[in-house]
């Protein structure tokens, strides 16, 4: 009899959860539908009417082996058509309560909104779409590396908001040691110094059980203060210490000649190729190896992992230090892969954007890379639009990557779940 009552209670709980999920899905579907309608109305009023000329998108450059014709889009007609499509789709979702694939519909709506904005900005002008895609990959690289560092750390249940500081010391080390000994040595030192700061974070939160958020903030403040002091004290009076060589783009034979795709993926510098390789190897390491299985066990249930003979503390030390090394490599991109010199606070919050990409990618390296490409697109968009001289103030254009971060983290993450034990110190019994 007690068992029967217990079963009834479980059934009631399950039915209650199903009702809550159904209500949540319907609410999300309605929100998606209304947003799509708003997008459609916004496009028709601001980007649809009163536009003269065609938007010309260049798919090739004069020096390319294979030259493709330009993509010509009638600006007003395209935007009005898209606005009607979005209004129709949004109305259909609202009326039919289409709960399936609401996030996919919203993502498609945002994509169409961006294309309409590009068409509006390019109306009567020409715009290199291939150059934009190439810039997107370049700008996404440090964000993807920061996201990878976050994944390596948070998969073992250590919150690491100190990635911004690790990027910064990596950039500084790359500039100084690159100026003294060359780019390769500078890169090695950037990785080592990033790993040192990763180990410092691990030491604080594992051995001394400092709050993980506070430790990350301390790492950021230490990195910012230290690099600012050394820059004003030494680099400004010794400019030869801040003149590092830059890794030049490497063309991969045959693949670099593919139209559009070749310049985008196969005419990049060492950091872009390194980021792609790290994404693939990290994915294999976490999900296809025994070490990765232990790593995930430590992040989900450290006590159970310890019972099975896994050294929880060692796994955490190793992976947080590796995260620092990856962040140091990402930091070197700013100096050795971009401008060849260090400027104060030059990372510009890319570590925090990387953490947003990590969450949006659901703690998976490939998902984080895809999210980083979205943020990289927003970052490169503000530069390209400045060239087109759009009437939007430059200050608003500079806000694009940060606005994208807020929008995607606040509205599109859905039911992303962090590792179960994240943020909790482990005390071995």
What is the enclosing helix (H) or strand (E) of 54?
A: strand 54-58
Confidence at residue 107, expressed as pLDDT on a 0 to 100 scale: 80
Residue 420 DSSP code: T
Residues 55 and 204: their CA atoms lie apart, in Å, by: 55
- Which token pair is 142? 């440090």
pLDDT tens, per residue, the chain with 429 residues: 454 555 555 555 445 544 445 545 677 788 888 989 999 999 988 888 778 889 999 888 777 778 889 999 999 999 999 999 999 999 988 888 776 777 788 888 888 988 998 898 888 888 888 888 999 999 999 999 999 999 999 999 999 999 999 999 999 999 999 999 999 999 999 999 999 999 999 999 999 999 999 999 999 999 999 999 999 999 999 999 999 999 999 999 888 888 888 989 999 999 999 999 999 999 999 999 999 999 999 999 999 999 999 999 999 999 999 999 999 999 999 999 999 999 999 998 999 999 989 998 889 999 999 989 988 888 888 777 777 777 777 667 677 677 766 766 665 555 567 899 999 998 876
pTM of this prediction exceeds 0.85: yes
The pLDDT value recorded for residue 6 is: 54
**Radius of gyration, alpha carbons of the chain:** 24
Q: Tell me the CB-side half-sphere exposure of residue 86, using CA atoms within 13 A.
A: 29
221-242 residues labelled b (16+ CB within 10 A) or e (exposed): ebbbeebeebbeeebeeeeebb
């Amino acid at each position: 009899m007690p068992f029967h009552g217990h079963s009834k209670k479980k059934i009631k709980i399950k039915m209650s959860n199903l009702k809550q999920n159904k209500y949540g899905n319907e609410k999300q579907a309605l929100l998606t539908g209304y947003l799509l309608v708003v997008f459609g109305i916004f496009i028709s009023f601001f980007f649809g009417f009163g536009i003269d000329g065609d938007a010309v998108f260049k798919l090739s450059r004069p020096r390319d082996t294979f030259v493709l014709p330009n993509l010509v889009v009638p600006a007003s007609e395209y935007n009005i058509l898209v606005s009607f499509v979005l209004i129709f789709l949004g109305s259909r979702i609202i009326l039919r309560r289409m709960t399936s694939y609401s996030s996919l519909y919203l993502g498609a709506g945002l994509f169409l909104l961006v294309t309409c904005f590009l068409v509006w900005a390019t109306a009567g002008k020409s715009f290199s779409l291939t150059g934009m895609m190439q810039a997107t990959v370049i700008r996404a690289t440090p964000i993807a590396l920061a996201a990878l560092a976050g994944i390596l750390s948070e998969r073992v249940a250590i919150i690491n908001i100190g990635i911004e500081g690790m990027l910064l010391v990596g950039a500084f080390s790359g500039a100084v040691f690159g100026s003294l000994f060359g780019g390769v040595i500078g890169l090695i030192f950037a990785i080592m110094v990033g790993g040192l700061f990763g180990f410092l974070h691990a030491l604080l939160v594992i051995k001394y059980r400092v709050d993980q958020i506070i430790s990350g903030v301390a790492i950021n403040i230490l990195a910012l203060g230290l690099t600012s002091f050394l820059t004003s004290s030494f680099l400004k009076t010794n400019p030869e210490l801040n003149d590092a060589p830059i890794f030049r783009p490497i063309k991969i034979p045959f693949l670099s000649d593919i139209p559009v795709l070749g310049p985008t993926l196969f005419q990049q510098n060492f950091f872009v190729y390194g980021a792609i390789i790290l994404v693939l190897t990290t994915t294999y390491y976490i999900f296809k190896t025994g070490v990765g299985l232990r790593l995930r066990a430590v992040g989900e249930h450290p006590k159970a992992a310890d019972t099975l003979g896994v050294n929880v503390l060692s796994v955490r030390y190793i992976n947080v230090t590796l995260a620092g090394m990856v962040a140091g490599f990402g930091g070197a991109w700013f100096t050795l892969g971009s401008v060849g010199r260090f400027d104060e606070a030059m990372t510009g919050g890319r570590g925090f954007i990387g953490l947003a990409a990590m969450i949006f990618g659901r703690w998976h390296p490939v998902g984080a890379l895809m999210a980083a490409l979205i943020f990289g697109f927003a970052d490169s968009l503000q530069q390209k639009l400045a060239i087109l001289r759009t009437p939007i103030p430059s200050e608003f254009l500079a806000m694009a990557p940060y606005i994208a971060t807020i929008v995607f983290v606040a509205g599109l993450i859905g039911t992303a779940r962090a590792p179960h034990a994240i943020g909790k110190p482990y005390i071995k019994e």
